[in-house]
Amino acid sequence: MTFNWMAWTTPTATFFIVIFCMLVGMTIWEIKCPGGAPRQSILHFETTRGDRLFVSLLGSAYIHIIWLALFASLSLWWAFAIACVYALCVFRWV
């Protein structure tokens, strides 16, 4: 069985491997400290760490799209750096 039809490229494969590793990491974290660490976020609703990961990933996707829309000529790595800082903030405060 080959996966040629899926038209894999190294960057997209890396992207999915990183997402998969994140999910594995979150599972290990959940096994070590069960319950999802719920807390009241600064947005006035309760979040667990799964919610925080979801918000981080979704927000990061939007940060990249907005970067493409506003600064199409600049490197996308800047957007990646902003997304990393954003994800850290989400895990710290949201």
Partner 1 sequence: MIEKQINQKAWFMVLPVFLLVAFSAIIPLMTVVNYSVQDTFGNNQFFWVGMDWFRELIHSERFHDAFLRQIMFSGIILSIEIPLGIVIALAMPKEGWGVPVCLISMALPLLIPWNVVGTIWQIFGRVDIGLLGHSLAALGIDYNYTQEPIAAWLTIIAMDVWHWTSLVVLLSYAGLCSIPDAYYQAAKIDGASRLSVFRYIQLPKMQRVLLIAVLLRFMDSFMIYTEPFVITGGGPGNSTTFMSIDLVKMAIGQFDLGPAAAMSLIYFLVILLLCWIFYTIMSNVGEESSNGGV
Q: Which residues bind partner 1 (CB under 8 A)?
A: 4-9, 11-12, 15-16, 44-45, 54, 58, 61-62, 65, 68-69, 72, 76
According to DSSP, the residues that pair with 39 across neighbouring strands are: 47
What's the closest the beta carbon of residue 21 comes to partner 1, in angstroms? 15
The nearer residue to partner 1, 62 or 93, going by C-beta atoms, is 62
* Cβ-contact 30, 36 below 8 angstroms: yes
According to DSSP, the residues that pair with 40 across neighbouring strands are: 46
What's the closest the beta carbon of residue 72 comes to partner 1, in angstroms? 5
The nearer residue to partner 1, 69 or 92, going by C-beta atoms, is 69
The nearer residue to partner 1, 16 or 93, going by C-beta atoms, is 16
The nearer residue to partner 1, 32 or 44, going by C-beta atoms, is 44
What's the closest the beta carbon of residue 74 comes to partner 1, in angstroms? 12
3-state secondary structure of 3: coil
Token readout for 27 is 């599972």
3-state secondary structure of 47: strand
Q: Which residues contact 79 (CB under 8 A, 6 or more apart)?
A: 63, 64, 66, 67, 68
